[in-house]
Amino acid sequence: MQRYKAIYSYIQEIQKKLKDEQQLASMFASCFPNTLETTVKLLDDGTTFVFTGDIPAMWLRDSSAQVNPYIKLAQDDPDLQRLLRGLIHRQAGYIVLDPYANAFNNGSEGQGHKGDRPLADPWVWERKFELDSLCYPVKLCYSYWKATQEETIFNGVVHQMLQKIVATMQVEQCHDQASSYTFERPYPAPQSDTLPFHGKGTRTNYTGMLWSGFRPSDDACKFGFLIPANMFAVVVLGYIEEIARSIYADERLARQAQTLRKEVDFGIKTYGIVEHPRYGRIYAYETDGYGNYNLMDDANVPSLLSMPYLGYCAIDDTLYQNTRRFVLSRDNPYYFAGTYAHGVGSPHTPTGYIWPIALSICGLTTQDKDEQEELLHMLVTTTADSGYMHEGFHQDDPRQFTRPWFAWANSLFAEFVLHVVGSRT
């Protein structure tokens, strides 16, 4: 008997709608179930391990994003419910174990990066503190609850996870004074893999925002307040507040989340906006609260480009539109334009490499149908005839690419396709 019937029925439904676009229909049919078919392990304890693809570890961010397009189909599919419920509970257990780790092993086998200081728990693949790693599991939990109305997911471990997330965020508001977190990866690791000043990171002033050691690219932050991650935190702190009150009747947690949400948002609005001579008032990518800013955007989500996608603001918000114009211009040092495509890349990959994740996010955050169709064309024609997304590809030669098996990019592409199909009807 076929499992995940909702997924495969939906694929057939979308393929019929794309009957005049056979290449797009074929790619959707490959990319949409890619996470399900190649990266999911249903474990005997009822939890689910979802690894990222060509790396055998489970990232809190990637695993959440990989299954995101499946959530809306879960209400009538017990197999999907089992998968998603199990993932929520495994993520909760990981965060309770170590809220500063970004990637975990399936067991306590001690796999992952060797020599990092301080030594991580054997369950941990990598202990880079990325603020978004605390946000994505909350988004997954909240989205699943709203899609299925299933409250049984909210067990004691999930409650502990939410408490741990808020407590960790409170500490990281005052990173320099209150946090014991450090991270160093010895030479010959690249500089982007380690934090300066004995692993503490560059100094930050108090702003109300939350410190992050690393970006969602796993690269070290230049300045400790990563604005897109703080925007994501504002959104999920609202989710925590609602869950705390509606499910756990935990007024203390709800009030902590509410206060934190307001303080972080105040910090973004007060310290995260700069006046650009060409684009007007825009959001910076990073700041330290001392008046230093990093003006750029990165392909990885959360990004400045992804603000409406994550729920922080509306697409037509003036500050967002100003920022978007900056991001999609050569004034962004990681925007590239070549023979085959134009879009956002990352310092994580070579110069001139454009990321399909960024192209999909660009399409998910525009109301311009012509722009969406152009982005679809770029995505379909830059796979090096593989039919799957890659991490990044060269703007002038898509046969040069990084990471042939990157499930997050496949899921986000499928999500974009579904968005376009929905907007056509």
**What integer pLDDT is reported at residue 114 of this predicted model?**
87
Report residue 294's pLDDT band, with 50, 70 and 90 as the boundaries: very high
- Domain of 396: which CATH number? 1.50.10.10
CA 11 to the chain's CA centroid = 24
Q: What is the pLDDT of residue 424?
A: 84
Reported as a single tens digit per residue, the pLDDT across 90-113 is: 999 999 999 999 999 999 999 999
Which residue range(s) make up the domain with 335? Answer: 5-424
The tally of domains found in the chain comes to 1
pLDDT at 156 over 90: yes
Residue 236: pLDDT band (50, 70, 90) is very high
Average pLDDT, the chain: 97
Q: Which residues contact 173 (CB under 8 A, 6 or more apart)?
A: 206, 208, 209, 210, 211, 260, 263
Give yes or no for residue 339 having a pLDDT over 60: yes
pLDDT greater than 80 at residue 291: yes
Tokens at 255, concatenated = 């009030």
- Quick check: 149 and 221 in contact, CB under 8 A? no
| pLDDT of residue 227 exceeding 70 | yes
**169-208 pLDDT per residue, tens:** 999 999 999 999 999 999 888 999 999 999 999 999 999 9
**Predicted local confidence at residue 317, as pLDDT:** 98
> Per residue in 55-81, pLDDT tens?
999 999 999 999 999 999 999 999 999
Instruction: Catalogue the E-assigned strands of 196-297.
Output: 225-226, 273-276, 280-283, 286-287, 293-294
- The 10s digit of each residue's pLDDT in 113-133 is 989 999 999 999 999 999 999
Kindly report the pTM of this predicted structure: 0.98
Q: Residue 2's pLDDT band (boundaries 50, 70, 90)?
A: confident
Averaged pLDDT for residues 358-386: 97
Q: Is the pLDDT of residue 152 over 70?
A: yes
